[in-house]
Amino acid sequence: MYSCTECKKCFSAQKYLTHHMNFHSSKYNCSECGKSFSSRKSLTRHRRIHSGEKPFECSVCEKRFIQASDLTRHSRVHSGEKPYKCYLCDKVFSRSGLLSVHVREHTGDKPYKCSFCDKSFSTSSHLKAHGQRIHSHVRPHSCPYCEKQFATVTEVKCHVRVHIGAKPFSCRHCSEEFVWRGQLKIHLLKSHNEGTWFTCHICPVKFSTKGHLKRHLQRHEGVKPYACDECPKRFCTADELKRHQPVHSGNKYFSCFLCNALFKRKYEVKRHFKRCSAVHGVSAPLL
């Protein structure tokens, strides 16, 4: 890792650090937002963000872009061109950045490290999302349908699919459609034998994604990277930590519709309902 002496930002190669350092010594500043640039040309391109100027137009869909390189990348959507090839598995990509991220799957390189829990990530966007979702209690984005709070706009967009019934992921072999990409991947594996199962080398359990297998292996190894801020407890996954956190809160969001008893966690009201429904002679499922 190469660290900037001015702002402590880290880079994976010297050339990226050198390029970054030019911004600290730059004499070209944007009068709108104060951002600095190493050349007048870069500043001119940046100013288009504030002016709304987009001089480069796609000849196919008429979408416009601020700079020529953006148009070049966009044009590959129509042409299907993927000029960047992985030298390890021959997989191809339309952008160099996507290739760089992909190569880290082979090398295991995770240059972006969380300062709270030491968990590492292959991209800065994954690190940022992790920080907002796990270590920040701020949830500035609300669902327009149920007012549930989320850390990022992306999480809201995904959640809204539940309300509007959107299923953007379609199986190319049959008519099945899915809300989440992961659901489609599991469907392809189970129904069409397409893809690769990831099998645990300790027990016979297999998983549809490498991430699920990794979390499973952490249980064998006793690794618990997610720590509670309120007590000494630690957890294998972010979801487990999230389910635990209501213990320290006085809020009780789940209620039994038979006796109106309140509970902090969903599994608690489900467990209670089994006993309560037997007492009241009700067999209706808990929704």
Burial of 123 (0-12, 13-18, 19+ CB in 10 A): middle
Q: What is the distance between the alpha carbons of residues 13 and 179, in angstroms, rounded to a whole number? A: 39
* Coil/strand/helix, residue 128: helix
Averaged pLDDT of the chain:
82
Q: Give the mean pLDDT of 176-180.
A: 89
Residue 73 has pLDDT above 70, yes or no: yes
Residue 263 has pLDDT above 70, yes or no: yes
Residue 165 binned pLDDT confidence (cut-offs 50, 70, 90): confident
Among residues of the chain, what percentage have pLDDT more than 90?
7
The identity of residue 186, as a single letter, is I
CB 146 within 8 A of CB 161: no
Question: Shortest CA distance to 217 belongs to which of 229, 197, 200, 232?
Answer: 200
Strands (E), 58-190: 64-65, 84-85, 92-93, 112-113, 120-121, 141-142, 149-150, 169-170, 177-178
Q: What is the distance between the alpha carbons of residues 268 and 35, in angstroms, rounded to a whole number? A: 51
Residue 212 has pLDDT above 50, yes or no: yes
- Rounded to two decimals, the pTM is 0.45
- Between 203 and 126, where is the model more confident? 203
Output the pLDDT for position 5: 79
Residue 282 has pLDDT above 70, yes or no: no
Residue 283 binned pLDDT confidence (cut-offs 50, 70, 90): low
Residue 57 has pLDDT above 90, yes or no: yes
Q: What is the distance between the alpha carbons of residues 210 and 226, in angstroms, rounded to a whole number? A: 19
Looking at the DSSP bridge assignments, the partners of residue 206 are 199
Burial of 130 (0-12, 13-18, 19+ CB in 10 A): buried
Q: Give the mean pLDDT of 225-252.
A: 81
Q: What is the distance between the alpha carbons of residues 184 and 164, in angstroms, rounded to a whole number? A: 19
Residue 286 binned pLDDT confidence (cut-offs 50, 70, 90): very low
Output the pLDDT for position 285: 45
pLDDT tens digits for 112-125? 888 777 778 888 88
- Between 82 and 5, where is the model more confident? 82
